[in-house]
Amino acid sequence: MTPLAGLLPDGIASALGLAPAFRGRQVFRWIHRGIESFAGMSDLPAALRSSLDSRADILTSRVDSRSESEDGSVKLRIRLHDGAAIEAMSLQDGRGRRTACLSTQAGCGMGCAFCRTGLMGLVRDLAAHEIVEELLHLRRETGDVGTIVFMGMGEPLLNPGPVAAAVGVFAHSDGPGMSLRRTTISTCGIVEGIRRLAEEGPAVRLAVSLVSAVPGTRAALMPVSRANPLPALREALGFYQERTRRRVTLEVVLIDGVTDRAEDAEALVEWAASLGVMVNLIPWNPVTEIAFRESPPQRVRWFKERLEAARVPVTERLRKGRGVNGACGQLAVIEG
């Protein structure tokens, strides 16, 4: 059976041998209108609909569970065809607008000390159709989505082909029609991946989980920094900005007594000095399996004011999804 969700119209037509080729566009449109069976594709000939039932899959995954928090955030646990499971979030802002937070891998092999997903280890990469199916499930459960962030489970820049293919599907005018400017890839700092993104695209926004600009602190918290040290990461971001002319978001997780110290603030001011960045402060979200503490509000406020005094653009991320263990660093499927 051919999975269709990760294919563009021409790809659908080619994979299924459809003639005339516009049949691929028709199938593509129906998939992204939320139709889950070929029988509902009313502008296709009956014989073709019947044939497709035995040749192709619209969805290869299913929703195992749905959890909703008081802030309107919805978390889906999605079961993949081979039994692996992932989580995806629909986050709602104060105006009712929704952001889809999508996973790119089942589990994660980066081992960041503050992130629950890392406790799973890496199960496997997701295929393009599995990434796209996350959005299809979320839209069915929560309605239209205006923004997409690849900030769920996994490291997007270590699964570049399927992520780029999914972005292409999301951006297609006959599908979700998502603006690339409203799509963000978040990385823990894969230097070669950042350079490849600058040279090859897709032309989405980039966020980097910096956490700390103190080399020893970052190395202790993020094993990725051993092969991707801070000087090389900074050089890669400079290259990215030179090529794309786009601002980068630096994500800084504030952990009490670990990354919210004066030396962290000063190092960050110096590290970001000549880069075109926005610093996004993220108070650490509690995880029962990890013995850190979130920075107290007064410390977050002090840290933010220190950056503002140094003229570093800074914002504080709203706390969304905590009620369902769906906030930054809380996603995981740990099964006994």
Q: SS3 string of the chain? A: CEECCCCCHHHHHHHHCCCCCHHHHHHHHHHHCCCCCHHHCCCCCHHHHHHHHCCEECCCCEEEEEEECCCCCEEEEEECCCCCEEEEEEEECCCCCEEEECCCEEECCCCCCCCHHHHHCEEEECCHHHHHHHHHHHHHHHCCCCEEEECCCCCHHHCHHHHHHHHHHHHCCCCCCCCHHHEEEEECCCHHHHHHHHHHCCCCEEEEECCCCCHHHHHHHCHHHHCCCHHHHHHHHHHHHHHHCCCEEEEEEEECCCCCCHHHHHHHHHHCCCCCEEEEEEECCCCCCCCCCECCHHHHHHHHHHHHHCCCCEEECCCCCHHHCCCCCCCCCCCC
How confident is the model at residue 322, as a pLDDT?
A: 47
Give the Cα separation of 27 and 66 in Å (integer).
28
Classify 62-324 by CATH class: alpha beta
CATH annotation of 2-57: 1.10.150
Catalytic, 155? Answer: no
Q: Whole-model pTM above 0.75?
A: yes
Which two three-digit tokens encode residue 93?
């802002």
pLDDT at 331: 63
Distance (Å, whole) CA 131 – CA 73: 19
Catalytic, out of 200, 270, 328, 335: 328
What are the residue ranges spanned by the domains of the chain? 2-57, 62-324
Q: One of 36, 87, 266, 294 is an active-site residue; which one?
A: 87
Q: What pLDDT does residue 328 have?
A: 65
Successive 10-residue mean pLDDT values, the chain, 336 residues: 96 93 94 93 92 94 91 92 95 87 96 89 96 97 93 96 98 94 96 97 96 96 96 96 95 95 96 91 86 92 96 80 53 60
| 200 in active site | no
pLDDT on residue 72: 85
pLDDT for position 334: 60
- Would you state the pLDDT for residue 319? 58
